[in-house]
Structure 1
Amino acid sequence: MTVSDTESHQARFNGPGRITRGDLMGAARKIVENRSKEIRCLATPLIGFQGRSEKEIERRLAMYVIGWDFAAEELEEKYTALIDSGNYERAAGLAVFHGDIDRAVMILGRAKKENFRIMSTAIAAYTSMGKTSENNAWKDHCRELSSDLDDPYLRVIFAYIADANWYDVLDDSSLPLRERLGVALRFLNDQELNFYLNKVAETVIERGEIEGLIITGLTEKGIDLLQSYVDRTSDVQSACLMASFTCPKYFQDDRVEHWVQSYRMLLNSWSLFAVRARFDVARTKLSRRIDGLIQTKRVPRQIYLQCINCHKNISKTSNKNTDSQAKFRSGDDSKTRSNGGGNKSGVRHSTVCPHCGYSLPRCAICLISQGIPIPKDVISVDNYENGLTNNATEAIVKAESKFKEWFSICLSCNHTMHAGHAEEWFSKHWVCPVPDCDCKCNNI
Structure 2
Amino acid sequence: MSGTTAELYWFPKYQDRFITWGSEINLYQTKDDVSDQRLQTNIYLNISKKTATLLATETRYQYIRCVAPSYRSNELCLGVGLANGKVGLCNFVSSNENNIEFTPKQSRPCVCLSWHENETNLLAIGHDRNRNDHCITVWDTERGIPKEKSILHLFGLSETAHSLCWDKQNKILVAGMSHKYLKLMDLRHNTPSVITNTRAVHGVSLASNGLYLASYIDNIITLWDIRNIEKSISVYQTEKNINALSWCATRSSTLSIILRDSPYIHLYDLHSPNESGVEPRIIKRFVAPFPYKAPINSRNITLSNISWHPTDIERFLALSGSGTICDFSVPQRVAMTWDPLNNLCGSVGVNVYRLNSVPTPPTTPTTQTNQCEKGGRSSDNQFQEDIAQVIHRRALNDYGKLPDTAKNGDLAPHLASVWALLANMQKENYMLGLKTALEAYSTNADCPPIQPRSEQVQINWVDYASGPSVEVFRSEQREFAQRLCGWTFDKGSAESFRSFIDELCAKKVSAMHGAIKNTLNFEPIVSQEYTRAALIACFHLKIRYAIEILGLGAERDPNLRMVALGLSGFSFEKSLWRTQCITALSQISDPHLRALFAFLTPDNDSYDIVLKESGISLSDRMAFACHYLCDNKLTDYIKTMIQNCTENGDLNGLLITGTTELGINLLQSYLDLTDDVQTVALISVKFLSKDLLSHSQVEHWIASYRDLLDIWGLWIQRANFDITMGQIQPQPRYARSVFLLCSFCGKSVSACLQEEARLRATSSSTNAYKLSSCPSCRKPLPRCSLCLMHMGTTLGLSLQNPTGHASYGWQSKPFSKWFSWCQSCRHGGHTEHLTQWFSQHLECPVASCTCHCFTLDFSVPNTNKEIVS
Normalised by the length of structure 2, the TM-score is: 0.27
Aligned to 2:565: 121
Q: 1:253 aligns with which of 686, 690, 695?
A: 695
Contact 1:143–1:159 (8 Å) recurs in 2 = yes
Q: Is the 8 A contact 2:473 2:626 kept in 1?
A: no
The residue that corresponds to 1:27 in the other structure is none
CA deviation after TM superposition for structure 1 residue 226, in Å: 0.4
Per the alignment, residue 159 of structure 1 pairs with 598
Q: Which runs of 5 or more residues in structure 1 are unaligned?
A: 11-48, 288-293, 300-318, 325-444
Amino acid at match of 2:581: C
Aligned to 1:75: 497
User: What is the aligned counterpart of 1:168 among 589, 609, 615?
Assistant: 609
Q: In the alignment, what sits opposite 1:59? A: 478
Change in Cα spacing, 1:297 to 1:199, as seen in structure 2 (3 Å) is farther
The verdict on how the C-alpha distance between 1:117 and 1:250 changes in structure 2, with shifts beyond 3 A counting, is same
> Quick check: 1:93 aligned with 2:535?
yes
Contact 1:247–1:256, Cα closer than 8 Å, also in 2 = no
Structure 1, residues 130-164: CA drift from partner, whole Å, max 9, x if none?
x33x4x54333212322112211111112222226
1:117-196 alignment runs, 5 A limit: 117-127=561-571, 131-132=572-573, 134=574, 136-163=575-602, 165-196=606-637
* Structure 2 Cα separation of the partners of residues 199 and 206 of structure 1: 11
Cα distance, 1:281 vs structure 2: 3.1
> Offset of 1:70 from its aligned partner?
1.0
Contact 1:123 1:161 in 2 (8 A): no
Aligned position for 1:276: 718
Assess, with a 3 A threshold, how the Cα gap between structure 1 residues 321 and 60 changes in structure 2: closer, same or farther.
Answer: farther
1:228 positional shift: 1.0
2:691 matches 1:264: no
Contact 2:547 2:568 survives alignment (8 Å) = yes
Q: Hey, which of these two has a bigger chunk of strand by percent?
A: 2
Flag the 1:262–1:68 CA change in 2: closer, same or farther, 3 A. same
Question: Which amino acid in 1 is paired with 2:614?
Answer: S
Return closer, same or farther for 1:248/1:109 CA change in 2, 3 Å cut-off: closer
1:212 to 648, 653, 656: 653
CA distance in 2, matches of 1:50, 1:322: 87
Equivalents in 1 of 2:711, 2:672: separation in Å?
A: 21
Q: CA deviation at 1:51?
A: 4.8
Name the larger-Rg structure: 2
Q: Distance in 1 between matches of 2:745 and 2:648?
A: 57
The CA deviation string for residues 185-222 of structure 1, in whole angstroms up to 9 with x for no partner, is 11112222121111111111111111111111011110
| CA apart distance, 1:231 | 1.1
Matched residue of 2:487: which SS?
coil
State how far apart, in whole Å, the 1-side matches of 2:534 and 2:549 are: 6
Deviation at 1:63, TM superposition (A): 1.6
Q: Which moved more, 1:278-287 or 1:252-261?
A: 278-287
Cα offset, 1:91, TM superposition: 2.2
Which one has a larger percent helix, Structure 1 or Structure 2?
Answer: 1
Higher relative contact order (CA 8 A, sep 6+): 1
**Alpha carbons of 1:268 and 1:121: their partners in 2 closer, same or farther (altered >3 Å)?**
same
Paired with 1:322 and 1:7, the residues of 2 have a C-alpha distance of: 65
- The correspondence for 2:727, drawn from 279, 282, 285, is 285
Distance 1:271 1:9, change over 3 A: farther
Q: Percent identity?
A: 32
Q: Distance in 2 between matches of 1:51 and 1:174?
A: 24
Query: How far apart, in 1, do the equivalents of 2:733 and 2:680 lie?
Result: 21
Structure 1 segment 18-57 matched on structure 2, within 5 A: 51=472, 53=474, 56-57=475-476
Q: Counterpart in 1 of 2:673?
A: 232
Change in 2 beyond 3 A, CA 1:126/1:177: same
Deviations 1:307-351 (A, max 9, x none): xxxxxxxxxxxx999999xxxxxxxxxxxxxxxxxxxxxxxxxxx
Please give the root-mean-square deviation of Cα atoms over the aligned residues, in Å.
Answer: 3.7
Q: Give, in whole Å, the separation in 1 of the partners of 2:532 and 2:472.
A: 26
CA deviation profile, 1:74-95 (whole Å, cap 9, x unmatched) = 3212333456656432221121
Determine which of 637, 644, 664 is the counterpart of 1:203: 644
CA contact (8 A) 2:538 2:546 kept: yes
Whether the 8 Å contact between 1:145 and 1:158 is mirrored in structure 2 is: no
Cα distance in 1 for residues equivalent to 2:744 and 2:712: 40
- Structure 1, residues 81-135: CA drift from partner, whole Å, max 9, x if none? 45665643222112112221222123324533543222223222223xxx33x4x
Q: How does 1:364-375 map to 2 (within 5 A)?
A: none
- Conservation of the 8 A alpha-carbon contact between 1:169 and 1:180: yes
Question: Do the aligned partners of 2:531 and 2:593 also contact (CA within 8 Å) in 1?
Answer: yes
Aligned-partner Cα distance in 1 for 2:745–2:589: 76
1:390-423, Cα deviation, whole Å (9 max, x unpaired): xxxxxxxxxxxxxxxxxxxxxxxxxxxxxxxxxx
Paired residues of 2:473 and 2:627 also in contact (CA < 8 A)? no
Deviations 1:31-50 (A, max 9, x none): xxxxxxxxxxxxxxxxxx97
Q: Which amino acid aligns with 2:703?
A: Q
Whichever residue aligns with residue 2 of structure 1, its letter is K
Partner of 1:163, secondary structure, is coil
Change (3 A) 1:119 1:9: closer
